[in-house]
Structure 1
Amino acid sequence: MSLNVGSWDRVLRVVVGLVLIALAATGTVGLWGWIGVVPVATGLFGFCPAYSLLGIKTCPMKKN
């Protein structure tokens, strides 16, 4: 598993995910807000399975 999520993408995922989780915890958006766990996890790990399937890579690291 190699990194495929770049730094700006990771920050955005974590922020959006945390906002969704906060909205779900306060009851503003209902249970759907808990889907924010997914972007938080992919942001923290730096790997997105959907990006792998689609061949997308926002991480600037070069292949060895």
Structure 2
Amino acid sequence: MKANMGTADKFIRVLIGVLIAVLYYLNVISGTTAIIILAIGIVLLITSLASFCPLYTLLGINTCKRK
């Protein structure tokens, strides 16, 4: 896997993932919708930690600065 995510992209994904987790923890979101949104938040966190987004590969997007 070749990195295809830049620093700003990773930061935004982590921020959104943490925000979703906090909303779930505070019971602002609940039920089936909360589980689906929480799963999306987990995917955002995992892809930001790996610096790789499979969807970016399919769409031909690369936000990582090239050397």
Q: Normalising by structure 2, report the TM-score.
A: 0.82
- What is the alpha-carbon distance in structure 2 between the residues aligned to residue 21 and residue 6 of structure 1? 23
The answer as to 2:14 corresponding to 1:10 is no
How many residues are matched?
62
Answer whether contact 1:5 1:57 (CA < 8 A) is retained.
yes
2:47 to 36, 42, 48: 42
**Which digits, 9 at most, give the CA deviation of each residue in 1:3-59, with x for residues without a partner?**
000000001100111101111122212223312111111111100010011000000
> Gaps (5+ residues) in structure 2?
none
The structure 1 segments of at least 4 consecutive aligned residues displaced by more than 3 Å after TM superposition are: none
Q: How many percent identity over aligned positions?
A: 39
1:33 to 15, 30, 37: 37
Higher RCO structure (Cα 8 Å, ≥6 apart): 2
Q: Normalising by structure 1, report the TM-score.
A: 0.86
